[in-house]
Amino acid sequence: MSRDRIADALSLLAPAKVNLFLEVLGKRPDGYHDLATLMVAVSLYDRLDFQGDDAGRLTLICDDVHLSCGSDNLVLRAAERLRRHVNQSLGARIHLEKRIPMQAGLAGGSSDAATTLKGLNELWGLSLPDEELARLGSEVGSDVPFFFAPGAAWCTGRGEKVEPLTPSRPLDFVLASPGVGLSTAEVFRRVRLPEQPVDGSGLRRAIERGDVEEIGRRLHNRLQAPAEELAPAVRDVYERLRATNPAGCLMTGSGSTVFALCRDRAEAIRVARQLGADVEGLSPHDEAVSDVPAGKAADGLTIHVVKSCP
């Protein structure tokens, strides 16, 4: 999370995430599923600007007309939850610049909620520890606590139990979003529980060693098959990415974004170009693009070249 502070205004970046591993272990009494997942934050960001409101109002404006700015938005739900927690009539005006594709498995809404908790904690001078904010965030969304981790974590329960990991090197990815939104609930309704869950311990060790080839071999997502049933475009993008011969490729979360895990930055740019993205302005020696698409392919794919966040 990076920030800019001017007077009583605060600006923060909210990163997307990818799941390198996602196993569904079983159905819970509360209707959710028990999961085991390895998530990594990546350098594709939404931007949130916060400004105090002395009248005690909470308002949200977003530059994406397709996103609700009402009480169902996770940003306002997180803000209201924090305000109830401290039992104060605090206000803020929040502007959300949306760059993370929606309903794409990248957890943009959850990241925005976590960033809202961090931003308002600072704007309102509450000085609450991250552990407390993460607990509040778990009441808003299962992925929210992950965004209080350093950048990579092994997550269990609904996803809210977070064990930080320390990758020994940054990872390079190409994200390919087909523009088809998927309902997380509908994908989970179609999932087939395994008789023998896949073990993610080998992937965890590969992450800690920085062994990209081994990471690529051990990528796993139990939700990819039901997502492909709902949206054949996911399978099409997966096959196109796999044909570029990266270290590995996988759908992230409940879809619909598919990513290629690349061996280095130069390979990521090559893969993006093979998909048809206009990435002529990108250099293998530059930092990964942070908050804008690397390019649009002629067939409508939105393609980002990103790195894992530290």
CATH of domain 172-307: 3.30.70.890
Is 307 noted as a catalytic residue in this protein? Answer: no
Task: Locate 174 and state its tokens.
Answer: 């190409």
φ/ψ (deg, to 5) at 214:
-70, -40
Domain ranges in the chain are 3-164, 172-307
pTM of the full structure: 0.93
Give 3-164's CATH code, choosing from 4.10.520.10, 3.30.230.10, 3.90.1150.10, 3.60.21.10: 3.30.230.10
In contact, 151 and 309? CB cutoff 8 Å = yes
Beta bridge partners of 92: 52, 58
Which residue out of 17, 98, 118, 307 is catalytically annotated? 17
Alpha-helical regions (H) of 243-306: 265-274
Structure tokens at 87: 């039992």
Give dist(CA 32, CA 158) in Å, integer.
Answer: 7
17 is an active site residue:
yes
Count CB-CB contacts under 10 A for residue 232.
Answer: 12
pLDDT in tens, the chain (310 residues): 555 554 478 999 999 999 999 999 999 998 899 999 999 999 999 999 999 999 999 999 999 988 999 999 999 999 999 999 999 999 999 999 999 999 999 999 999 999 999 999 999 999 999 999 999 999 999 999 999 999 999 999 999 999 999 999 999 999 999 989 999 999 999 999 999 999 999 999 999 999 999 999 999 999 999 999 999 999 999 999 999 999 999 999 999 999 999 999 999 999 998 988 766 556 565 554 444 445 666 577 899 999 999 8
Q: Which of 46, 112, 143, 172 is an active site residue?
A: 143
Size of the chain in residues: 310
